[in-house]
């Protein structure tokens, strides 16, 4: 059986950053296990610019960002990659790996889950119709086009206004396809404002808010869809059906943290994020197992993923080298307007950055954070669910807390 101080599962932006953070804080034996044949994860298929402004102070494509981060770690002897290798089981802190060399068991003093996220498929949204060719997730279409040069359709409709869907609206248009429109079931977009402007408005692609695709039509190949309007309860409004001819439907209907491996360990998962319940050190409910990046909760920018990964690696190093501190455990409670807060629990013994999302669109408002000895209001001109928020609280503000910290948004 192989033994390592730290095993990182996933070689994307979070995994590479976690390995670097652990190395810079004293860990000398780190193994990154990656199921693909190369580092970088989803970045390798994201050929558009917009990555790296916070991390490298320059605008990069996804592959360029991945390469730049790989350059930071590739010559560090303490960090080793195992490519083309899939984890089949985790027992305690021992992983079973199906690799090129066969089935291997690897034991670690700590594990970091940096497994990223996956797209919600057609089966998750209850859309009626045949399983005809031409219905893809937006990420799958992106991979086919950007990595293999295959255009999945010529007359495209997109369901969901997540960032991948918006980016693919522009990408397909630039490749000569006709993007008829983008539908979003919510009354607001789930993508970043810059992507609405640069990917839809700049190309005169209409956005249908409070609309969804009720059904698809076609035998061997998609021929059309039925678009309907929904009310404030997301229920179909009768009489609003319209049939739209298209040969391809792209689904951008949400991302789900990839945590199937953690389920077998009975790690506590947050029903809102679908990621692990963690404390401020990124440790899950199972001792010695950490989580970061999109495996924890879906981020807006890869730069935030890398920052989080590096912090996770630092805390994993503290755990391995027994540098952790004792303090009471406080739990975050979402009162109104707040969908989730990460970390969900924390020890008030250091400065902590809290990340969260709201559950509806707010205009001028206040983020209200309160608990024993703490009552803080932060004014915001506007907050939308598609943009992750951050509140940084100092140790001095947190140290009076005992059991709970409450979060709400006040208009």
- CA 36/CA 143 separation, integer angstroms: 13
Instruction: Identify whether the C-beta of residue 134 lies closer than 8 Å to the C-beta of residue 59.
Output: no
End-to-end alpha carbon distance in the chain: 57
CA-wise closest residue to 62 among 39, 36, 85, 34 = 39
H or E element, residue 61: strand 60-61
Phi and psi dihedrals of 142, rounded to 5? -65, -45
> Residue 304: CB partners within 8 Å, gap ≥ 6?
54, 355, 388
For residue range 141-183, what is the model confidence (pLDDT) as tens digits? 999 999 999 999 999 999 999 999 999 999 999 999 999 999 9
Q: Is the pTM of this model over 0.85?
A: yes
Which residue(s) pair with 226 in the sheet? 215, 243
* CA within 13 Å, CB half, 129: 24
Q: Which residues of the chain have a pLDDT value below 50?
A: none
Question: β-pairing, 2-9 with 30-33?
Answer: parallel
- Delineate the domains of the chain, giving CATH numbers in brackets: 2-118+256-320 (3.50.50.60), 121-253 (3.50.50.60), 330-410 (2.60.40)
Evaluate whether 247 touches 154 at the Cβ level (below 8 Å): yes
**pLDDT the model gives residue 38:** 95
Rg (CA), the chain: 22
Q: How buried is residue 359: exposed, middle or buried, by Cβ count under 10 Å (0-12/13-18/19+)? A: middle
> CA–CA separation, 45 vs 140, rounded Å?
10
3-state secondary structure of 318: helix
């Amino acid at each position: 059986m192989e033994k390592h101080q730290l095993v990182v599962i996933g070689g994307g932006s979070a995994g590479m950053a976690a390995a670097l953070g652990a190395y810079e804080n004293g860990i000398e034996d780190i193994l990154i296990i990656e199921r693909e044949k190369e580092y970088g994860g989803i970045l390798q298929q994201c050929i558009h610019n917009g990555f790296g402004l916070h991390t490298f102070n320059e605008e990069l494509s996804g592959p360029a960002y991945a390469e730049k981060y790989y350059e930071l770690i590739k010559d560090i002897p303490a960090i080793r990659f195992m490519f083309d290798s899939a984890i089949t089981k985790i027992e305690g802190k021992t992983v079973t790996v199906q690799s090129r060399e066969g089935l291997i068991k690897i034991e670690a003093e700590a594990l970091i889950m940096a497994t990223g996220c996956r797209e919600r498929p057609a089966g998750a949204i209850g859309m009626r119709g045949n399983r005809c060719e031409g219905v893809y997730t937006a990420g799958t279409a992106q991979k086919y086009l950007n990595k293999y040069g295959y255009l999945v359709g010529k007359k495209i409709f997109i369901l969901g206004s997540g960032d991948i869907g918006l980016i693919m609206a522009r990408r397909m248009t630039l490749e000569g396809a006709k993007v008829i429109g983008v539908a979003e079931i919510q009354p607001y977009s789930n993508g970043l404002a810059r992507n609405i402007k640069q990917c839809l408005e700049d190309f005169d692609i209409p956005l249908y808010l409070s609309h969804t695709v009720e059904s698809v039509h076609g035998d061997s190949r998609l021929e059309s869809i039925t678009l309907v309007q929904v009310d404030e309860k997301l229920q179909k409004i009768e009489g609003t059906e319209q049939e739209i001819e298209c040969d391809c439907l792209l689904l951008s209907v949400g991302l789900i943290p990839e945590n199937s491996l953690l389920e077998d360990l009975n790690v506590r998962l947050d029903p809102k994020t679908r990621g692990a319940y963690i404390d401020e050190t990124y440790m899950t409910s199972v001792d010695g197992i950490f989580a970061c990046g999109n495996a924890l909760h879906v981020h807006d920018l890869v730069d935030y993923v890398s920052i989080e990964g590096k912090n996770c690696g630092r805390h994993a190093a503290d755990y391995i080298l027994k540098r952790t501190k004792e303090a009471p455990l406080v739990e975050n409670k979402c009162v109104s307007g707040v969908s989730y807060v990460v970390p969900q629990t924390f020890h008030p013994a250091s400065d902590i950055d809290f990340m969260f999302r709201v559950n509806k669109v707010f205009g001028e408002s206040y983020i209200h954070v309160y608990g024993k000895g703490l009552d803080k209001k932060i004014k915001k001109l506007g907050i939308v669910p598609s943009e992750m928020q951050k509140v940084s609280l100092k140790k001095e503000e947190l140290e009076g807390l005992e059991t709970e910290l409450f979060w709400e948004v006040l208009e």
